Amino acid sequence: MNASQQHLLDTYRAAQRGEAAPILPGAGTVSTAREIQGWLRFRTVVTAPTDRLPGRVARAVRRSAAALGLVQEAPARCR
């Protein structure tokens, strides 16, 4: 049974019992997507630049290269 069929069955049952009809499937999808997008934007603003993905990747590459002896490790910067 798909979501539309389940919704029709729930609507029928609610009508028989005199209850309010259930919300449509997917009614909150757009608002949920907007909330997630807003959260990601907020997290980007409050996250320190060195903790963002490009900074983490660059640090990992430098540490890996230093561990393999390909380059000398640069002095640590303030974090």
49-54 long-range CB contacts below 8 Å, 24 or more apart?
50/79
pLDDT at position 37 is: 93
DSSP conformational letter for 59:
H
pLDDT at position 74 is: 58
Alpha helices in 1-79 (DSSP H): 3-17, 29-46, 53-67
Mean pLDDT in residue range 5-30: 91
Distance CA 13, CA 19 (A): 8
pLDDT digits (tens, 9 = 90+) for 27-74: 888 889 999 999 988 988 887 776 777 777 888 888 888 888 777 655
Mean pLDDT in residue range 5-28: 91
SS3 17: helix
